[in-house]
Each structure stands twice: as C-alpha cells, then as structure tokens.
Amino acid sequence: MPRKLRYETEMSPSQIEQRLVSSFPDSEIRVKDLTGTENHYEVFVRSGQFDGLSRIEQHQKVMAAFAAELKTGEVHALAIKTQV
C-alpha cells in the first residue's frame, strides 16, 4: 500500500537533490531522508559559493533554496552540513 503524503507536494530525496544541484552547480551534494517520511532531511553541500561566508551564512544560502517548502511544511526539517 502506498504511503499517504501529508502534503500533496512533499519533496522526495531526488527533488531535494535536484534543487540543490540547481542552486549549487559544480558542488558535492548528498541528501539523506532521516525518517523515511520524506519530510525530514539531512543535506551536505560542499561548494565554492561558500568561500568567505560564515557557517551561518552558508546555511542561510541552503535554506533559501527551500524557503517556500519550509514555510508550507512540505519539508518539515532540514539538517544542514556545509563545507567550502
């Protein structure tokens, strides 16, 4: 039986990855679904775009890629790890 989505547009791990690839081209990206419910994710982004930014600024750039989904709850939780 297919899992019932809480939101019509919950993002899958591949959609999360695609969004990050689009936002951070030529970067190393990993996505992990922490709970199997497709709304709690851990993402890792290694990008030259983070050069000279504080850790908080790096995380803000990643969060900005999912602003709408975090606001609506389509992505309920997003743990972020970044590296230059």
Across the range 18-43, mean pLDDT stands at 93
Residues 31-84 pLDDT 10s = 999 998 887 899 999 999 999 999 999 999 999 999 998 888 888 889 999 999
Sign for the CA dihedral angle at 60, 20, 7, 79 comes to negative
CB burial of residue 40 (10 Å; 0-12, 13-18, 19+): middle
Going along the chain from its start, the domains and CATH numbers come out as: 13-83 (3.30.300.90)
Single pTM value for the model = 0.84
CB burial of residue 45 (10 Å; 0-12, 13-18, 19+): buried
